[in-house]
Chains A and B, each alone.
Chain A
Amino acid sequence: MTIKNRDSFLNNLAANLGRPRRTESVERPAYSVSPQKEAWKDATSEELLEVFKEQSIKMSAEVEETTEENLPSLIRDLIVREGNSVIAAGGERNDLYGLTEMYEELESRIGEVHIYDSALGKENQVIAERADVGVTFSDVTLAESGTVTLFNDKDNGRSISLLPKTYIAIVPESTIVPRMTQSMQVLREKEKSETEKTPSCVSFITGPSNSADIEMIKIVGVHGPVKAIYVIVRDS
């Protein structure tokens, strides 16, 4: 890996600022206000859940609510309703939530069921492109904006939530936090951690893809999914 022209470039900036180059011990100042820490400070988890639902609907997402027990059958029904093929993120949560078994059974009912498998390389993208439905879990869920956050990795490839026409995000209630502030704290912890690596891609997703580029008229479904369904799983 290379870094080119850095010193001449940065020396010039320092010279324009009229001081020697700063290479260390710059501390962020204590900012005079911190409204992000005040927002939703006293909200209960029930209130946050309501805010999340309301915002998601406002952003054109469909919201479903279920229990852990009923999750597999609901996901199955939604997949069948939305099409004939599905690509889902891999990972241990599929087992934890009883989805692995459901996917195995579903294979005999619809055209294609694929669990993202990095060993297959680019084949995953080809499958995602033809799949009607993509399914992932949300890693952190933001109430204020109706947003699911994905820490993309080898099991949760970027294309699952992007290429299929319908995207289903499974939202465990415990992942719901007030706003982006809290998701950033999670990322900062990863940044400082010795053992964990920050993901190569963090995707904040709020509803289906859309555009207002033609006469300011909102069109849902441009490059990404045409439909987004959030399935909230209540804590048992």
Chain B
Amino acid sequence: MAIRIGDQPYEGRVKAGVDNTFMREAVSSAQGRFRSGKQKSSEELGNWEDWRTLGEEIRSHTLENIDYYLHQLSDKVEERGGHVYFAETAEEANTYIQGIVKKKNAKKVVKSKSMVTEEIGLNEALEEAGTEIVETDLGEWILQMDEDPPSHIVTPALHKNKEQIRDSFRDKKGYEKTDKPEELAAFARQELRKDFLSADVGITGCNFAVAESGAVTLVTNEGNARLVTSLPDTQVSVMGMERLVPTWEDLEVLVGLLTRSAVGQNLTSYVTSIIGSKLEEEVDGPEEYHLVIVDNGRSKILGTEFQSALHCIRCAACINVCPVYRHVGGHAYGSVYPGPIGAVLTPLLDGYEDHKELPYASSLCAACTEACPVKIPLHEHLIRHRQIIVEEEKKSPQTEKIMMKGFAKWASSPAAYKLSEKMARTSLKPWTKEETIEKGPGPLKGWTDVRDFPAPAEQSFRKWFKDRKKGEDS
């Protein structure tokens, strides 16, 4: 799937989002619940700002010394019986993992939710090699069935309702019960158990790796990551190179920030740290363990003004407060990373060319920056992206260019401005009904498709103000 999702242009994606009433309601209610959960669990801690400061300091120190800590991590994993592969590109990572799967002659691979494997398109690469891949996170399983990309990094199937899910289960898996979430989940449990027990290889992502111990830590509520790391004989963990902390003590701070910010829980049901392959005499856990550390464009961000974007711990707190995300939903961003962090990160990882609109998908209200548990100045990064797009890349969206040119000409001529003021009411008359415009022409259409536009007043503000002043003076 790679970082880009779908091939629709930006305007089309946005329109599809805005027109999807169920999705918008679901997103809006999810945002509300995520936000209040986060607020409650962070307030309980008492000194949330101190925790954020500590989180930021740990992340900065780690990224400043990332070569040192990755070296230490890889030594530790090797010491504990694991193989470590450093992959500069998505292709390198995919080829390496394909190699493992082929060597093991694996028929079935079970996966727990991982954003980085979405980013590098691992599933497609493995399917090409003829292996069956089963996503085991409930949301991801639903999406895989419908070949649909995730729309939120914590609850990936947020855009689907239970009736749609029931229909997919029925059509693709022979499900016969109702659309009750409990029954749907029980069915998924029963189906996926078989997969867990018969899989040859397990693949996970990585929330945080601990450099001093080689522990790859996975944060879930469902328990699927525990199954993926306990049952198959071969396990592969894929981590974005920045998903790292120096010590166990640092891990604890960031896990707490993550679970509170992501789902408003002091801890999720399962936090699991896996260190290399299983020890002698142990039964559960992999005999063969691989850690794949992925760059895929991240190193270009190091040493730049955007370095703090790599501090992200993928909690989605910025997504959950974003007014733009609320209206357009995750798919409109056209990236596996939606929302404010997606708008910052996607152009950095994949270039401005295909993502030049993303930094504009923001009202710059700064709610994202305020919500970020590791204090990434997200809205400032978005402003800087816009500057680069306009000044250096000369890639501001085409409509904006034309409009700006026209506006400059028109506004610099007082006669033209006055004339259009007078003309506005008359020329919009055909579309006006009782002082509102419900279906506007041309550029107004985008607005009136979703809400009414007031008809221009009979008298311009300037004229009204002048007359009023006259009245006062006399």
The minimal Cβ–Cβ distance linking B448 to chain A, given in whole angstroms, is 31
Whether the pair A33, B54 counts as a contact (CB closer than 8 A) is yes
Q: A23-B68, A214-B184 are in contact. Are A201 and B82 (CB under 8 A)?
A: no
Contact B50 A33 (CB under 8 A): yes
Which segment of B5-13, B119-127, B219-227 sits at the interface? B219-227
The DSSP consensus for interface residues of chain A is loop
- Cβ of B420 within 8 Å of any chain A Cβ, yes or no, is no
Contacts of B390 in A (CB 8 A): none
Q: Are B275 and A16 within 8 A (Cβ)?
A: no
Identity of the chain A residue whose Cβ is nearest the Cβ of B26 in the assembled complex: A215
Closest to A225 in B: B223
Once bound together, how far apart are the Cα atoms of A191 and B283, in whole Å? 22
| Minimum Cβ distance to chain B for residue A181 (Å) | 6
A1-B81 contact given A55-B266, A206-B270, CB 8 Å threshold: yes
Q: A58–B221 Cα gap in the complex (Å)?
A: 14
Interface size (B, Cβ < 8 Å)? Answer: 109
Which stretch, A42-50, A75-83, A98-106, A119-127, touches the partner chain B? A119-127
Would you call B277 and A200 a contact (CB within 8 A)? yes
In the complex, which residues of chain B have a beta carbon less than 8 angstroms from the beta carbon of A28? Answer: 61, 246-247, 250
| Complex CA distance for A179 and B259, rounded to whole angstroms | 14
Contacts of B92 in A (CB 8 A): 5
Closest Cβ of chain A to B259, distance in Å, is 8
> Smallest Cβ distance from B317 to chain A, in angstroms?
16
Q: Inside 8 A of B252's CB, which chain A residues have their CB?
A: 36, 179-181, 183-184
A35 touches B54 (CB 8 A): yes
Residue A152 interfacial (CB < 8 Å): yes
In the complex, what residues of B have CB within 8 A of residue A207's CB? 269
Distance in angstroms between the alpha carbons of A158 and B64 in the assembled complex: 36
Q: Nearest Cβ distance between residue B114 and chain A, in whole angstroms?
A: 15
Cβ B274 vs Cβ A211 within 8 A: no
The CA-CA distance from A59 to B137 in the complex, in Å, is 20
Chain A residues with CB under 8 Å of B229's CB are: 158, 201
Contact B223 A6 (CB under 8 A): no
**Residue in B53, B161, B293 whose CB lies within 8 Å of A33:** B53
User: Is the C-beta of A110 less than 8 angstroms from some C-beta in chain B?
Assistant: no
- Nearest neighbor of A5 in chain B, beta-carbon distance: B86
- Over the window 227-252 of chain B, the binary record of Cβ atoms lying under 8 Å from chain A Cβ atoms (1 yes, 0 no) is 10111000000000100001111111
0/1 string, A175-193, CB within 8 A of B gives 1: 0000111011101100100
Query: A215 contacts which of B74, B82, B181, B248 (Cβ < 8 Å)?
Result: B181
What residues of B have a CB within 8 angstroms of the CB of A147 in the complex? 267, 271
Q: How far is the CA of A28 from the CA of B82 in the complex (A)?
A: 26
What residues of B have a CB within 8 angstroms of the CB of A209 in the complex? 221-223, 269-270
* Interface residue count on the A side (C-beta < 8 Å): 88
Indicate if the CB atoms of A26 and B68 lie closer than 8 Å: yes
B303 at the interface (CB under 8 A from A): yes
Are B71 and A23 in touch, CB under 8 angstroms? yes
A211 touches B302 (CB 8 A): no
CA distance A10 to B51 in the complex (A): 30
Minimum CB–CB distance from A130 to chain B (whole Å) comes to 11
User: Is A2 in the interface zone, CB < 8 Å from B?
Assistant: yes
Contact (Cβ within 8 A) A223 B189: yes
**Cα distance A87–B86 in the bound complex, in angstroms:** 40
Q: Which of B50, B83, B138 contacts A1 (CB 8 A)?
A: B83
> Does B275 lie within 8 Å of A180, measured CB to CB?
no
Determine whether B88 belongs to the interface, using a CB cutoff of 8 Å to chain A.
yes
A111 located at the interface, meaning its Cβ lies under 8 Å from any Cβ of chain B in the complex: no
A181 vs B138: C-alpha distance when bound (angstroms): 31
B58 on the A face (CB < 8 A)? yes
Q: Which residue of A lies closest to B266 (CB)?
A: A145
Q: Report Cα–Cα, A129/B169, bound state, in Å.
A: 24
Q: Cβ of B324 < 8 Å from any Cβ of A? A: no
Distance between Cα atoms of A59 and B68 in the complex (Å): 39
The residue of chain A having its C-beta at the shortest distance from the C-beta of B75 within the complex is A3
- Docked pose: A140 CA to B325 CA in angstroms: 40
Question: Is B45 close to A, CB under 8 A?
Answer: yes
Binary A-proximity of B307-336 (CB < 8 A = 1, otherwise 0): 000000000000000000000000000000
A-binding segment of B150-158, B347-355, B421-429, B459-467: B150-158
Contacts of B57 in A (CB 8 A): 29, 31-33
Asked whether B162 is an interface residue with its Cβ less than 8 Å from the other chain, the reply is yes
Min CB gap A8→B, angstroms: 8
**Residue of A34, A153, A183 touching B279 (CB-CB under 8 A):** A153
Kindly list chain A residues whose C-beta atoms are within 8 Å of the C-beta of B85: 3-5
Q: Is A187 within 8 A of B248, CB to CB?
A: yes
The answer to whether A211 and B267 touch (CB under 8 A), given A12-B299, A162-B227, is no
Q: Are A211 and B266 in contact (CB under 8 A)?
A: no
* A99 CA / B241 CA spacing, docked (Å): 46
Q: Is residue B185 within 8 Å, beta carbon to beta carbon, of the partner chain? A: yes
Residues of B within 8 A of A224 (CB): 222-223, 226-227, 269-270
What residues of chain B lie closer than 8 Å to A129, measured between beta carbons? 193, 197
Taking a contact as CB atoms under 8 Å apart, the answer to whether B70 and A13 are in contact is yes
Whether, in the assembled complex, A96 has its beta carbon less than 8 Å from a beta carbon of chain B, the answer is no
Please state if B67 and A21 are interface contacts (CB–CB under 8 Å).
Answer: yes
Chain A 205-221 interface 0/1 with B at a Cβ cutoff of 8 Å (1 = within): 11111111111110101
Which residues of A have CB within 8 Å of B81? 1
Minimal beta-carbon separation of B374 from chain A (angstroms):
13
B269 interface neighbour in A121, A124, A181, A205, Cβ under 8 Å: A205
- 6 chain-A/chain-B pairs, Cβ below 8 angstroms: A2-B83, A3-B84, A9-B293, A13-B70, A201-B229, A213-B142
Leading 8 A-B pairs by shortest Cβ distance: A224-B223, A213-B139, A9-B86, A145-B266, A158-B284, A209-B223, A204-B271, A145-B267
A-binding residues in B (CB < 8 A)? 26, 29-30, 33, 45-47, 50-51, 53-54, 57-58, 61, 64-71, 74-75, 78, 80-88, 92, 96, 136-139, 142, 155-158, 161-162, 165, 181-182, 184-186, 188-189, 192-193, 196-197, 212-213, 215, 221-224, 226-227, 229-231, 241, 246-253, 255-256, 263, 265-279, 281-285, 293, 295, 299-300, 302-303
